[in-house]
Amino acid sequence: MSIVVSEKIGSRTVQRSALSSPTGVREFIVFDGEPTTDNALTAMVALRAEGVPQVGDSHPEDRQMTVIGHEITADPASNFAQFITCNYAVSGLDGGGSYTAVSTNVRSIARDIYRNFPTMPPYDSFGISIEDIGGYSVDLEGKPVSVGIFQQTLDVRSPFANKPNFNTIRSFTNCRNIVDWEGFPAGQLLYLGASASVSNGNVWTTTHKFAADEMFHAKQVAMRDSDNKVVTEWTDSTPFQRYASDVRWAQPFPQLRNFDLLGLGNMP
């Protein structure tokens, strides 16, 4: 058996609409170039033949579209030929896929701290840690010192060309990852929202934006007295001086979400 795959001339079409994502069709004839009476060409053998686009393969003229299914019809005049129609469409958010582009940037910024090697106690509903953060005092009589930490931005362009779910985008904006996500520990990555544009063929380009922070986007805050002065106390530390006595984490982004629900595909 010598299987030949040939695309029908003029059968390749792409349909575009202002109201929906593009779709496409390609038609093939698959036949046995060396037929024998004992070996008819079955639909399954024809479908798996080299040269027949498989589910998930991109359209040669518009790579945002992929094969979503086939229609197979036996040639009524021969046992050695099958007609195959490949249907193309833009996969939806539940259709898997991979990121089409990822860009990132890492930089150093200065952050004021009162304690070194602190713990991460739980937050209350207002994003304030419910107890002192511990660690080693490094402030100067209630005045914080500045240290360098990393911040990383991450832009992810979605592989899907359909209209993004703006309700989901809005509900996730200013939320951090509730579980580890793409190498970032839980709570370290903040979702900043997305930018989107659409072409005349209703083809959307959506870029989702994230930012990671070494301190999980939290800031150290020293408790103050009624005169708005940092409450300090003498400690046995070296050097012997007054330090902020009660330091908490202030988390401006206390809400957590599962970023897998954004439906961005798989990291390359």
Report CA torsion sign: 53, 55, 57, 62. Answer: positive
> By the 8 A CB rule, do 216 and 188 touch?
yes
Given this model, what pLDDT does residue 96 score? 47
* Boundaries of every domain in the chain: 3-90, 101-262
118-122, 136-140, 223-227, 242-246: least confident range: 118-122
Distances (CA, A) of 140 to 17, 113, 126, 144, 221: 65, 11, 28, 6, 14
pLDDT in tens, 183-242: 899 999 999 999 998 765 566 788 999 999 999 999 999 999 999 999 998 876 656 688
pLDDT in tens, 13-35: 888 765 566 789 999 999 988 87
Task: Say how far apart CA 12 and CA 20 lie, in whole Å.
Answer: 19
Work out the average pLDDT over 91-110.
71
Do the strands 175-177 and 256-257 form a parallel or antiparallel pair, or are they unpaired?
A: parallel
pLDDT in tens, 144-183: 999 999 999 999 988 777 788 899 999 999 999 999 998 8
- Which distant-in-sequence residues (6+ apart) come within 8 Å of 176 by Cβ? 186, 187, 188, 189, 190, 191, 216, 217, 253, 255, 256, 257
> By the 8 A CB rule, do 149 and 217 touch?
no
Do the strands 189-198 and 204-213 form a parallel or antiparallel pair, or are they unpaired?
A: antiparallel
